[in-house]
Each structure stands twice: as structure tokens, then as C-alpha cells.
Amino acid sequence: MGLRERKKAETRAALSWAAIRLTVERGFDRVRVEDIAEAAGVSPRTFNNYFASKGEAIAARHLDRLVRIAAELRRRPPAEPLWEALSQAVLAQWVPGPEVVEHPVTDQAEWAAGLRIMLAEPVLQGEVLRAGAVAEAELAAAVAERTGTDLARDLYPHLVAAAVLAASSTATAHFLRTDPPVPVNRLLTEAFALVAAGLPAPS
């Protein structure tokens, strides 16, 4: 990635994180595009160059994280078992970026409560579903490449991609419902171990 592309990616990430942070703090209807742009240190016009709406800006973080799973899977060692590679590819996306380090979450319980409210917004739910569909297609292609299956004919890569996204979303949803919150990395690791084992019944 060249310098120009990296700067654009950083601006996009900063805008998305600002949109999420402000929405969690204030509520979806109390955040304006101007507020998001100011928090990210850019102009409203720059915001509009990246996103068409607040909802799209919020969902962008989810979309970018999911799409990066496919890219990371392609980088994993070819001999690594598939579900281990997938688990590591997912966990790699939860390393905080510079925008999070600059504006860290200080109260995990309060943050989780705000996220629950934010994610209940119908407009945002539609954006999240669209992001998931895009990411699932990308991940299915990466799985097909890794397993030597045919994306057009075989069910397997699509089923694996859907299972990965389901495990990821279930783990993050469980993070939001636990009190006190359980670290999301621990939940993701457990979710992938259970899926890889065939979801055995609890002992």
C-alpha cells in the first residue's frame, strides 16, 4: 500500500471510529456529520468523500475488519489447518488501530451498553447486513483458494465463510450481553474452537 492509499485508509478509519465513539456516547440521533468530521480532524466535505451517511460510517469499521479476514487468511501458512488459520485471521483484526489508541475505551461496561443501543438502530442494522454480505463473498473466495474448491460449484467455501461470520458475530454479541464483559478475544477463540470441533454438546 502506497503512502496516499495508507493516508486514505487512516482517514476512513478515523472517521468510522469517531462516528462509533460519538454515537455510543450521545446516541445516534444526537450525532451530526459535522461532529464526526470535527472529531476526526477533517472537514464535513471530506466526510462526504468517504461516506454517504452516519450509518455507513459506523458500519465501515465492521466491513473493513471482516474484509481483512480474507486478506489475512491468504497470508497464513498453507500447511496450517483451516480452522486454526481462520481463527488467527479473525483474532488479528481485533488489534487496536491508532485511532483507538488515541481515543481509548475507558469503561468497558458503559461502552458495551452504548454499543447495544447503537446496534439496535434499524438504519444501522441494514448497513451491517450489507457489510456482512460483501465480506462473506470475499471470505468464501479466500477459502476456495486455500481448499482448492470451486467457488461457483462447491457449497463448502460459502458454508465456511458463513460459519466464520456467524461465529464472529455471535461472540461479539455475547461480549455485549455479558456483565461484566468477557474479553472478546477469549470469546472468539472459544467460538472457533467449538465450531472446529463440530459444536459438541456441553458436558
Confidence of residue 1 (pLDDT cuts 50, 70, 90): low
pLDDT tens per residue, range 132-190: 999 999 999 999 999 999 999 999 999 999 999 999 999 999 988 888 778 889 999 99
Peptide linkage before 180 cis (omega within 30 of 0) = yes
Give 154 or 4, the one with higher predicted confidence. Answer: 154
Helix (H, G, I), strand (E, B) or coil at 2: coil
- The CA-CA-CA angle for residues 146, 94, 69, to 5°, reads 20
φ/ψ of residue 95, rounded to 5: -75, 125
| pLDDT reported for residue 153 | 97
- The CA-CA-CA angle for residues 84, 170, 120, to 5°, reads 145
Nearest Cα neighbor of 50 from 100, 98, 15, 2 is 15
Nearest Cα neighbor of 192 from 172, 182, 180, 179 is 172
pLDDT tens per residue, range 28-47: 999 999 999 999 999 999 99
Domains and CATH numbers, the chain: 59-196 (1.10.357.10)
pLDDT tens per residue, range 59-117: 999 999 999 999 999 999 999 999 999 999 999 998 877 777 777 777 777 888 888 89
